[in-house]
Structure 1
Amino acid sequence: MNYIQRIGISLILVTSVVTGYAQSDEVDSLNRKLATQPQDTLRVQMLYRLANLYKYEKPDTAYRLGQQGYQLALRLGDRRGEAKALNIMGGALSDLGDYPKGIRLLQQSLSITRSINDLEGTFKGLNNLAIPYVEQKDYQRALQYFREAMELFEQSSRQNNRFDGLTPSILYGNIGETYLYLNELDSAEHYLQQALPLARQPVGRANLDNLLHVMGQIQAKRGRNAIALDYFRQAIPISRENSNAFVEADARLNMARLFQQQGAVDSSLMYARSSLDLGQRSKYLRGVLRASELLVELTRGRNDAQALRYFQVAVAAKDNLFNQEKVKQMLTLDFEEQQRQQDIEAAKAEYQNRIRIYGLLTLVIGALLAALLLWRVNRRQQRTNALLSRQKKDIEQERSKAEQALAQLQAAQQQLIQKEKMASLGELTAGIAHEIQNPLNFVNNFSEVSSELITELAEGPIRQLPDAEKTYADELVNDLTQSLQKIHQHGQRASAIVKGMLAHSRQRSGEKRPTDLNALVHEYLNLAYRGQQVNDKQFQAELVTRYDPGIGPVELIPQDIGRVLLNIYNNAFYAIRQQQHTDGDTTYQPQLIVRTQAVDGHVEIRVKDNGTGIPDALQPKIFQPFFTTKPTGEGTGLGLSLSYEIVTKAHQGQLHVESKEGEGTEIIIALPAHPPIVS
């Protein structure tokens, strides 16, 4: 089980998570009450609560209790109880590896919560429905469900006028781990950093072990093994506190893998065996499979008898998780969905054909009547005029089509040439950046190691020198320390620039799709503002939004436009903070205005701040790579350059700036309202 599965379960029971001993007491108490509880809605709630307590260690028992609650809720007409019971049953089946049946039950639950307008039940259901898709590596569909869950949570919070800190930490964590699986580590760490402060509060501690474990995985992927081990070690005692054997098993397994990489075989064996033991005791099949596979690697050639036993354990776990019948069921589920979509499209096509036929019949009948009347007046003259008119119209249409085809061909040719140029430039930039990265890593690493060695020298041998020599040695050590700090600081700056170059040259694989532009603009505004508040607790600004409700879906790549918006918002908030520090006047009111509007076949996004503004002489340079108005060390100069490439090249739009120094800046993004027509 991964973090997302654990968090899905947490959203079923948001109010509290009970430790193992407390769970045992509550299980006994609920079983005693159920023995005398009549068949009413309170009994449904008690069955639901009891199923939640069995969720981690006995998912099969949780499924049976949920089934009892569902049947009772069905007889009582308790729609909310039906939805909760189906949610429990679907989650339990997913934990047991039966994803097709689990997805069906979760979809049934979601259908009920939508029909009764239960916002809380719906965003919890969407979160839990995403989990089996994560396990099946369908990460894009999982992200879609997680984002929809976040939108509904925010809507529910606005309606109830209260903010639940646990739920956003859960959803941020889910989105962050999904980005980890997509190997987008910057996005993954960004969302995890949003979730951790909320999880460190008492109400969110139930999720802290999961967040620490995922942060450890991110650091391990970055090659920061010492930091990763520290995160895993922090997660283990908290997972015990939360009675979460799944997270503890995964943390121990990841520690075993890191020790294996370092050549510490004994330590690796110890942690792998403890992970396997936890997985077997908690019926965590995926954990058993992963731990036994690692133990086969570690014992092969050292103790072949043990390796054979671990191999048998792995085969048994794999058979339980991935038998052929479950694969067939999953394929059948996808086939049924595809068939349903095909039936809908066929029905639409048939309806359109019928309308077209009726229209043609109407036109034919009208034409016949008109021809008959005109024939009576002047048959020959009308036939001649009609023929000439049709020929002229056909010629005009053919000429128009030819002109349009020529224009499209020329545009396609220019785009192809530009793409080839940019691809070549991107490959060159990526190659240079990779070549720079290797020596730069050595500079950064050795500057850190040298600083540690100088610190040890200052605390050890230098202390033993005579006082006269000690003063001179201390001065040399201080000079060397400051020099190494400068080297490390500028090395990190250069590393950030190299990463920006790689992002600038990276090929974007996202596809354009119809997107709610207003929702996208608002989502990234909230994300950027919360990020600023996490970094600066005192930061406040008035956010004014004016969204044009008449803007329909816009064809764009949501992830890329999201990056553009995040860059622009962060620059605006930076300018506002600089203006606050410059003025020092309590009358200054920080403000950011965000507008969307449809203008002449385009849609515009306008982001206006009342910050420091940009001098006239610098405005023509702001979209150039590596140009920045920020002080050294605070910017790479690639954010707006990358944004300009995304808007103008990938979306055939426009990006320009209007600014006045000391008064503020307005960035205008213009995107085509409709995709270009390609014949």
Structure 2
Amino acid sequence: MLALLIRLGLRFEDRIEERRFVDQYVRGSLGWTQIAMLLGAATYAGYTLWDWVLYPEVVPTTLAIRGGTALFILLPLTALLSRRWMKPWAETIFLVYCVIPGCILPSIYLVLPSGFTFAAPGMMMIILFVSTMLPLRIGSLAIFCLLSWVALIVAETFAPTLPMGLRFINHSLVGNAYALSLYAVAAREYRARKQFRTSEALQREKERSEKSLRDLRATQEHLVQAEKLASLGQLVAGVAHEVSTPLGLALTTSTTMQTDLQAMADALNGASVRRSDLTRGIDRLRLGLDLTFDNLHRASEMVHSFRQVAVNQADEDRRTFELRDWLSELMSKLGPLLSHHALAVDVACPPGIRLNSYPGALAQVISNLALNTAGHAYPDKQGGRFAIAVSQPEPNSVRLLCTDDGIGIPDELQAHIFDPFVTTSRERGNAGLGLHIAFNLVASSLNGRLRLESKTGPGTRIAIEIPVEA
């Protein structure tokens, strides 16, 4: 029987899935079901009014049967559903609620003068209520049909007289009602199970999609941080290269000064010291100190610039700043790294443009574009030009046009240049994330747009459009 129900789609093979469906289908709307049960109890007892209209003399008996059933069985069963510990037994309560009045009803026809003349309509009313108002599954409804039909047959055996053919008519009508109710409940349950399966699949897909989205965002954040660190790593390499020269000169000069100072000490310990030798030694020490101071000051300025640009790129705070001065400061701090690539920078920005935005994100974007130009537009490192032209087409927006006259972007890559992992120099260790991260920073943090405006041929034009108020 269980295998047949599974084949018909009226049972799930997975017990856990079946339990979840029963919880949702049978116990999903107990409040509304209790209202239906109250209406059913009132209707069952209210049929006494029909008895009073037709046969007033039997009303006390029928009222005792109908009213007693409603008062002592139907209403208490309805009240039981309000108890939390009885909710797992909800389907059993529904079945008892249906079977008892269905089996008691035929006994009423034994006391009515009309006998079983109106038995079929009365039974059909109960069948209609059970099959439409209560969330019974096909198995529970089949039990109700069987028991109530047997009760009708038993009651008929006690009838003193039964008109010819009435039994056949009653059972034909009741049997048809049972068949229709079984089909209706089975169809309803089948559709509910399909809907349950669909909703479960959608829920699983939603959870998988949300997990994938969380993983993607986590990966994206990791890549952004990795790109920031890579950018700072390149900056460290450039600054280290630039700082090594003045530090090397300062070290060489200090070593020479140490030798000169030792020579002067040896001369002073001798028998006689000529004034010219002492003057020449002091002049050499003064020159050495000047050279050492100049080179150490130059190295200190480079380290300070590196520290400032590192802080700017890590800064996520929003603040107001003047764009022209900020760009000049940023380019001067990026100078050591860009000069390592022999890349000249031109900035054309009118004064007076003030932004209330995120300078850290904007610094990261411009740094990525500059480094991308240095590594891709001029791969031979023979020198080139990176220009930033700022304009304000509207009072509430700013446009930064970044251009170069390098080798350009191949036509087949122009539509995908901002996609992740798109690069033309993977063999040199580039991951293809610089422009993708710049695009995301402009779109998310700066609330603007990043567009490629290049045509076929040499040179690249990338426009950054951001609002004055991020």
TM-score by length of 2: 0.35
Instruction: Name which one, 1 or 2, has greater alpha-carbon Rg.
Output: 2
Structure with more contact order per residue of length (Cα contacts < 8 Å, sep ≥ 6): 2
